[in-house]
Amino acid sequence: MSNNLAAGQKIKIRDIFADGVYRFNPITVQVLGICSALAVTNRVDNAVVMGGALIFVTAFSSLLVSILRKSIPLRIRMIVEVAIIATFVILFDQFLKAYAWNMSKQLGPYVGLIITNCIVMGRAEAFATQNTPLTSMFDGIANGIGYSIVLILVALVREIIGSGTLNIFGTQILTLLDIGYTKNLLFVLAPGAFFTAGFIIWGVNAITNTKEDANE
Amino acid sequence: MQKNSNLRTIGFATILGLVCSILLTFANIQTKPLRLANEKAEELTNYLFVLDVPVSPGAKADDLLKIFDKSIRVKEAGGIKFYEYYPENSSDDKPVAVAVAFNGPGLWDKIGGVIALEPDLKTIKGISFYKQAETPGLGGEIASDWFQSQFIGKSIISPSGTPGFKILKPEAATDSNSVDGISGATMTSSRVEVILEKLAGTISNARSAYEQ
């Protein structure tokens, strides 16, 4: 977890975003919340909406946990956090069902499963309980963005290799099927996500490690 | 009062629980009509699709409902509901196509769908498996165009005259009442076959009642 952001210190927004998106990216560095990263990344559309859902939930649950941080009884702290997270997740799910029916069907149970996403709980527990509301909200947004970027990257690879096409919200950007490309089922199914996410995590860590060595 | 006293803990939990449930109840009530309309529209779209009723792409839920009310008549015979399609401008008093809903167990969850037949209740005009939770990319392919379009023009009566329908091994030679299965999805294919076998029987039994 981000140790350089100790409680009580004055924290720069830029640092929060650098940590959430890059330095301590929840997926590539902390390897949290990869369950949904594996499940919904067979299409870019799904990844975008899932990322949006996570940004919404982490932002508001961190905000609320931080507002209540001084009054939450210690013994039920985590239960309270889960209750708050669950409320926002269900709100988002209902919203999708009412206004984006097809997307809701595509994502199936995975929107509901954001409740158990380690990133949301992790940020609420590790950051929001020790920092001021606005800072916590920015931290939630930053981590949500970090998650979304990786999700979209994985989805880009999987959709192109798996389906041979790239459709973003109804607009076809690319199709390899015309030139005789055969769809690769492995990438449509979850194992494809393991490979893709694994390579991305490896790549990112290889790059960041080199930089750290160079700085020393 | 102490921050971590029992009383305060219980009080906090109660209030939080109340606030969250009120919020969610409110959201649920607010979105309910929209959600129900979406579900209904989804079902109707499938009836309209298999019956080949012209629908403009991107039609709203209530437009679909209007089209459905205008051109589909429901007739109950022999214990099943027949959804008959009468095109708007035709004066003919015979339906162009007849749809029947079906469902049964799939591999992971129930498979539900709707089949459209010629008015003779033998030849398939279209089929849609729209309620399914089969493995995406494998069994889930039953909802894809290539699988569903295989059914068009086939019959639910075998060449020897008995009602039935077969899903064969992929690439096998198909006849008038069979289609290719999905490679890698034998379990789903065989369950779909059971559902269609049963459906073919039910429709055949209800045929005489329907024709009256």
Rounded Cα gap, residues B141 and B150, in angstroms: 12
DSSP characters over chain B: --TT-HHHHHHHHHHHHHHHHHHHHHHHHHHHHHHHHHHHHHHHHHHHHHTT----TT--HHHHHHHHHHHEEEEEETTEEEEEE--TT---SS-SEEEEEEEEE-SSSEEEEEEEE-TTS-BEEEEEEEE--PPTTTGGGGGSHHHHHTTTT-BSB-TTS-B--EEE-TTPPP-TTEEE--TT-HHHHHHHHHHHHHHHHHHHHHHHHHH-
Number of structural domains found in chain A: 1
- The Cα of B94 is separated from the nearest Cα of chain A by a number of Å equal to 35
* Dihedral sign, Cα of residue A131, residue A132, residue A135, residue A137: positive
A199 inside domain: yes
Look at the pTM and tell me if it is higher than 0.95.
no
Query: What is the maximum span of chain A, computed from C-alpha positions, in angstroms?
Result: 62
C-alpha distances in angstroms, B149 versus B97, B142, B153, B179? Answer: 16, 10, 9, 10
ipTM of the complex: 0.75
pLDDT of residue A167: 83
DSSP characters over B111-163: EEEEEEE-TTS-BEEEEEEEE--PPTTTGGGGGSHHHHHTTTT-BSB-TTS-B
Question: What are the pLDDT digits (tens) for B68-86?
Answer: 888 888 888 878 888 888 8
Q: Which residue range(s) make up the domain with A194?
A: 13-211
Q: Is the pLDDT of residue A108 over 80?
A: no
C-alpha distances in angstroms, B11 versus A117, A194, B2? Answer: 28, 45, 12
Q: Is the pLDDT of residue A175 over 60?
A: yes
Q: Is the pLDDT of residue A214 over 60?
A: no
Given a contact cutoff of 8 angstroms between Cβ atoms, the answer to whether B183 and B167 are in contact is no
From the list A96, A165, A159, A88, the residue with the least C-alpha distance to A124 is A88
From the list A68, A80, A182, the residue with the least C-alpha distance to A130 is A68
3-state DSSP assignment of residue A150: helix
Give the pLDDT band of residue A10 (cuts 50, 70, 90). low
Rounded Cα gap, residues B179 and B196, in angstroms: 11
Q: Which residues touch A161 (CB under 8 Å, ≥6 apart)?
A: A184, A187, A192
Mutation site, B3, B62, B132, interface A, largest A CB count within 10 A: B3
Mutation site, B5, B18, B19, B35, interface A, largest A CB count within 10 A: B35
Given a contact cutoff of 8 angstroms between Cβ atoms, the answer to whether B129 and B142 are in contact is yes
Question: Could you tell me how many helices (H) and strands (E) chain A has, helices first?
Answer: 9, 2
A88 inside domain: yes
A5 inside domain: no
**Alpha-carbon dihedral angle through residues A104, A107, A113, A115, given to the nearest 10 degrees:** -50
Q: Is the pLDDT of residue A7 over 60?
A: no
Question: How many CA atoms lie within 13 Å of A129's alpha carbon, on the beta-carbon side?
Answer: 15
Nearest CA in chain B to A109: B133
pLDDT of residue B1: 59
Give the pLDDT band of residue A136 (cuts 50, 70, 90). very high
**Cα angle value B2/B7/B12 (rounded, 5°):** 90
- The Cα of B174 is separated from the nearest Cα of chain A by a number of Å equal to 24
Whole-number percent of chain B with pLDDT over 70: 96
Rounded Cα gap, residues B78 and B173, in angstroms: 34
- Least confident range from A87-91, A122-126, B92-96, B163-167: namely B92-96
- Rounded mean pLDDT of A164-193? 83
Q: In the beta sheet, which residues pair with residue B112?
A: B103, B131
Nearest CA in chain A to B39: A101
pLDDT of residue A210: 55
A8 inside domain: no
3-state DSSP assignment of residue A102: helix
Token pair 């990844």 is at which residue?
A47
A6 inside domain: no
Task: Supply φ then ψ for residue B85, to 5 degrees.
Answer: -105, 115
A216 inside domain: no
A131 inside domain: yes
Give the pLDDT band of residue B196 (cuts 50, 70, 90). very high
Rounded Cα gap, residues B178 and B196, in angstroms: 10
- B17 in reach of chain A (CB within 8 A): yes
Using a CB-CB cut-off of 8 Å, the residues of chain A touching B109 are: none
Residue type at position B157: I
Using a CB-CB cut-off of 8 Å, the residues of chain A touching B28 are: 94
Question: How many CA atoms lie within 13 Å of B84's alpha carbon, on the beta-carbon side?
Answer: 16
Q: Is the pLDDT of residue A3 over 50?
A: no
